[in-house]
Structure 1
Amino acid sequence: MNDIAPQVARRVLLLDGAMGTMIQSHHLDEEAYRWQGITAEGSSEILNLTRPEVIAQIHRSYLEAGADIIETNTFCANRINLLEYGLEDHVDIINRRACRIAREEARDRAYVAGVMGPTNHALSLASKLEDPAFRRFDFNDFHASYLEQALLLIEGGVDLFLIETVFDTLVAKSAIIAALDAMERLSVHVPIMVSVTFSDASRRTLSGQSLASFIETMAPFPLFSLGLNCSTGPEEMIDLIQEMSETSPF
């Protein structure tokens, strides 16, 4: 694990780009998504096991382009997400392999961010339109899922956490608390980056929160940074970035 704070104090660091679209550019066939009798087409994370050379090449291309930080291929590698593909019993190996691939490519020339993404489920939004109170998973379920992943990412040697594409603040809180709990359990400190996404021109998250409200919600946590990703594109994000730079305590 490498301390990123001194470098950030000296210069701007470049984060890599998207993993999903880079995987799509390889035009992989269905066979690439089969592992031990499981077919998980659509799961980028299974490629850590079946096509590690593809993931390594993507990391390498970003490093060659000048990235200072590369992200593990673990966006959907938590138990709740992997359940959708029948991979819930393979959370351990998927995260460990992802970390190994990224670390081997990064070596001493870049930092590795352990990515924890959202799920297809939410806490602020109903799981069933006909039953607004129904939630398939509760806060404790999300926390347990993220805690399991956070422990694996730390053990895999990540230099920081990236909790990204946040659209539900309650789920983000569960991930942050899980990351903090994992650090306490393993007696280490790993910086936490959080990145939120806004769904449309309304300048609100999918769960209806404004940027100002989101920043206020995140303020009590000891975050390393707060940022934006996805949303509606770079041009539309300029005003949000300006607002964030003026109001964020991070």
Structure 2
Amino acid sequence: MAPSPPPSADSRTRSAALREALATRVVVADGAMGTMLQAQDPTLEDFENLEGCNEILNLTRPDIVRSVHEEYFAVGVDCVETNTFGANHSAANEYEIADRIHELSEAGARIAREVADEFGAKDGRQRWVLGSVGPGTKLPSLGHIAYDVLRDGYQQNAEGLLAGGADALIVETTQDLLQTKSSLIGARRAMEALGVDVPLICSLAFETTGVMLLGSEIGAALTALEPLGIDLIGLNCSTGPAEMSEHLRYLARHSRTPLMCMPNAGLPVLTKDGAHFPLGP
């Protein structure tokens, strides 16, 4: 793998502007990616016969991925997330493409960066790209995978995202605090390797039972993660806004770190056409 180029002055300026915005106002991000891609009915050939591997579309159908970013920017969001939720070791390894993590991550970030810059050029308003770092499919706390293997895979993911032009990294939908830590440390190592410092966001997934998948409560998560130097902490996925309110109340009272929240449109309902999310705007 060729070394990534050093960060440009533009990328440093964008990240600084994002930090300023996060400190002074509400910054609005996009919504779903997977269901938007599915709605365009990509073929098995588009997936290179790796059905459901959305990250492959960054290479085979960048037009589809681009159209999702365009739809979100068109309705006024400040940020979009990259199509890289599964560009990590445990998820990519199930498709036997763990050697392509950096390639898929960089391609996903580059598509989003191009769209963000095009919209910014039209009206002079800054738009940002959040590099999506997903949880993968293995839980290290249960011995599914070694911590260092996960961490190094996340570093490749983050280095690709930064090389492609991401302005921040969002470690999201995390369910196991050891996996969360491996993602954050991998992201930090990527920043050090490339000589950049971008906002690092940590977003947890809580079950309807009120705890993370492995039983961690919100207070335990905050205590474990806040010392790792994250810029934002919050919740995404799993539940709708109502179920997240108590966790957000706790964070609002106890967190020294600013908050973020990206709820699902309610709990998904499985139908013959796939998952349906019942809540409207």
Would the TM-score normalized by the shorter structure come out above 0.5? yes
Q: CA deviation digits over 1:5-45, x for unaligned, max 9?
A: 112233211011111111122222322211xxxx1101111
What's the CA shift for 1:231? 2.0
C-alpha distance in structure 2 between counterparts of 1:89 and 1:186, whole Å: 20
Alignment of 1:1-250 (within 5 A): 1=11, 2=14, 3=16, 4-34=18-48, 39-107=49-117, 108=120, 109-125=126-142, 135-200=143-208, 202-250=209-257
What's the CA shift for 1:154? 1.5
Whether the 8 Å contact between 2:200 and 2:232 is mirrored in structure 1 is yes
Residue identity in the other structure for 2:54: S
What's the CA shift for 1:171? 0.6
C-alpha distance in structure 1 between counterparts of 2:83 and 2:135, whole Å: 14
C-alpha distance in structure 2 between counterparts of 1:198 and 1:150, whole Å: 24
Q: Tell me the secondary structure at the aligned position of residue 204 of structure 1.
A: coil
Whether the 8 Å contact between 2:89 and 2:136 is mirrored in structure 1 is no
Whether the 8 Å contact between 1:193 and 1:223 is mirrored in structure 2 is yes
Instruction: Calculate the TM-score normalised by the size of structure 1.
Output: 0.90
Q: Tell me the secondary structure at the aligned position of residue 251 of structure 2.
A: helix
Q: Tell me the secondary structure at the aligned position of residue 33 of structure 1.
A: coil
Q: CA deviation digits over 1:32-65, x for unaligned, max 9?
A: 211xxxx110111111111111110000111111
Q: CA deviation digits over 1:40-98, x for unaligned, max 9?
A: 10111111111111110000111111110111111011132111112222223211211
Hey, what does 1:129 align to over in structure 2?
none
Give the fraction of aligned pairs with identical amino acids, expressed as a percent. 36
C-alpha distance in structure 1 between counterparts of 2:196 and 2:140, whole Å: 29
C-alpha distance in structure 2 between counterparts of 1:112 and 1:11, whole Å: 17
The count of aligned residue pairs is 236
C-alpha distance in structure 2 between counterparts of 1:12 and 1:245, whole Å: 15
Residue identity in the other structure for 2:139: A
C-alpha distance in structure 2 between counterparts of 1:136 and 1:204, whole Å: 20
What's the CA shift for 1:151? 1.4
Residue identity in the other structure for 1:114: G
Q: Tell me the secondary structure at the aligned position of residue 124 of structure 1.
A: helix
Unaligned stretches of 5+ in structure 2? 1-10, 121-125, 258-281
Residue identity in the other structure for 1:164: E
Q: CA deviation digits over 1:113-161, x for unaligned, max 9?
A: 1111111101123xxxxxxxxx342111111111111111111121100
